[in-house]
Structure 1
Amino acid sequence: MIDGSPPTTGHLHTYRTQGHLVLEFHGEIDVSAALEMAPALDLYTALPAIEAIIDLSHVEFFDCSGLRLLCRARRRILDHSGQLQLVCDHPLTLHILRVTGLFPGFAPVPSLAVALDRGAAGDIEEAG
């Protein structure tokens, strides 16, 4: 937990490592989970110049509500001069990102280790 922030939810766990804020999504990310996660996610994504990693490694199901959360988080992080990386190796979630045209904007990497090795996502610019 980050000082002054709400506790993590059953679907969102947060921690800092190597200068990054890691936002781990857990379980089934559907409309119910999205409603639960949104207030905490909004707080974290309002931090100025944050270097964030959203980690979907622990997600079992991901629907359009999850996409909405990702897009909102990305927009808010970029609006606050931050940087975002996405960790995702689940074939169906990657497929969703591709068919919706969101894949290039998120440029997902397969693991947290890769994201941390890659450093800040300064080479990822906002898409269109």
Structure 2
Amino acid sequence: MRPEPPPPTRHLRVREERGHVVLEFRGEIDIAAAAEIAPALDRVTGRSGVRVVIDLRPVEFFDCSGLRLLYRARSRVLERGGRLHLVCTHPLTLRVFRVTGLSRLLPPHSTPAEALEQSEAASGSL
């Protein structure tokens, strides 16, 4: 039996796609949004071998609270033998990722399809 995806919130939509959990962050990701997203993110990233794509394309603002969510998600997924891919196209957010070094740990993709293809190629699923 598959675990139920977390219910959507104002700042998070969750869906399954091609064996991956796609987490779409939405709107302004600040300390209040991070508090709303964290429980759902922890449920998803707590699964063994989970394959996750975090899509930031609908994000309008992203602060250090969002960075903490991404670092935490990455650590939890890797500890459990999973994979995490990031989708981001916003120039200011990409700049923050470069400055903080996150782009080296989670190279951003332009689209969810691109992230899914890379993940499947890495796991030999293509």
Q: What TM-score, normalized to structure 1? A: 0.89
- 1:1-128 equivalence runs, <5 A: 3-120=3-120, 122=122
Contact kept? 1:83, 1:122, Cα under 8 Å: no
Q: Deviation at 1:48? A: 0.8
Equivalent pairs: percent with the same residue?
A: 52
Q: 1:12 to 1:26 in 2, by over 3 A?
A: same
Assess if the C-alpha contact under 8 Å between 1:12 and 1:26 holds in 2: yes
Aligned to 1:126: none
Amino acid at match of 2:110: P
Unaligned runs of 5+ in 1: 124-128
Deviation of the 1:119 alpha carbon: 2.6
Normalising by structure 2, we get a TM-score of: 0.90
Structure 2 CA distance for aligned equivalents of residues 54 and 31 of structure 1: 18
CA distance in 2, matches of 1:49, 1:20: 10
Deviations along 1:7-45, whole A, 9 cap, x unmatched? 121111100111111010000000000011111111111
How much has 1:122 moved relative to structure 2? 4.3
Q: Deviations over 1:84-116 (max 9, x none)?
A: 000011111110011111111001111112112
Q: How many residues get paired?
A: 122
Q: Which amino acid aligns with 2:33?
A: A
Which of the two has greater helix per residue? 2
Q: Letter of the aligned partner of 1:102 in structure 2?
A: L
